Amino acid sequence: MDSGPEPHPHHHAHTGRPWLDTVLALSAVVISLFTAVLAFQHGAAMERMVKENEHMVQANTWPYVSIYFSTVDSAGKAIYTLTVENQGVGPAEIESSYITYKGVRVDNVDQFKRLVAGGAGDIALAKIVKSDLQGVLPARTSVPLINVAAPVSPPWLIGAFQKANPDIDVQVCYCSILGQCWTTQKKTTTSHPRPTSRCS
């Protein structure tokens, strides 16, 4: 019974000229290597592009929060203010903030006045304005955290806060919209906010 033609083993084509076969084989190897190099370079280029895009997004959403004080207003009158300003190009999500006086954390305005002014005057009648620092601080905007100024604050209280300024500190922890976080404070030995893994 005829089972059909016998299958023949497959052999790679040869030209019959050894030198030409060698050239063709080497050419195939070179082309394969060249293709692999191109693929690697393309992957590296794409990775660099992704990183550059990430850096660009970070740069365009970067908040920069600083804290500064003033002892005179635009008219030259004595005041004492603590201001928190976002000098960056992106919004700052304020996660936490607190004020200290001589290392003691201040929880409310009355405590703050007593710590700073002591028995210099009638604390009950002396007032200061304190803002709650929370939520989002847009780029290029500022918030007056503490404002000790006429007419609500008497001269003796303004003077007491000005004198106490070296002992007053403010610390703020904030994050960008990408989740990168920093801490900044009024009294600091560094000129820039410090990165932190998260705000406590």
Domain residues of the chain, as ranges?
15-60, 65-196
- 196 beta partners: 181
Low-confidence winner among 37-46, 70-79, 129-138, 173-182 (lowest mean pLDDT): 37-46
**Among residues of the chain, what percentage have pLDDT more than 70?**
78
Give pLDDT, residue 55: 57
Coil/strand/helix, residue 186: coil
Low-confidence winner among 48-62, 79-93, 96-110, 134-148 (lowest mean pLDDT): 48-62
Number of alpha helices (DSSP H) and beta strands (DSSP E) in the chain: 3, 10
- 142 beta partners: 85
Which residue's structure tokens are 């365009």? Answer: 60
Give the separation between CA 168 and CA 73, rounded to whole angstroms: 19
Give pLDDT, residue 39: 72
Predicted structure pTM score: 0.70
Give pLDDT, residue 197: 92
Give the separation between CA 189 and CA 197, rounded to whole angstroms: 20
Low-confidence winner among 36-40, 60-64, 135-139 (lowest mean pLDDT): 36-40
Q: 1-11, pLDDT tens digit by residue? A: 555 555 555 55
Say if CB 105 and CB 98 are below 8 A apart. yes
By CB neighbour count within 10 A (0-12 exposed, 13-18 middle, 19+ buried), where does 3 fall? exposed
What are the backbone dihedrals phi and psi of residue 67, each rounded to the nearest 5 degrees, phi first?
-125, 130
By CB neighbour count within 10 A (0-12 exposed, 13-18 middle, 19+ buried), where does 70 fall? middle
Cα angle for residues 160, 97, 62 (degrees, 5° grid): 120
Average pLDDT over the chain, rounded to an integer = 83
Give pLDDT, residue 50: 57
- The single-letter DSSP state of residue 165 is G
Q: Residue 69: CB partners within 8 Å, gap ≥ 6?
A: 80, 81, 82, 83, 165, 168, 186
Residue 181: band (very low, low, confident or very high) from pLDDT cuts 50, 70, 90: very high
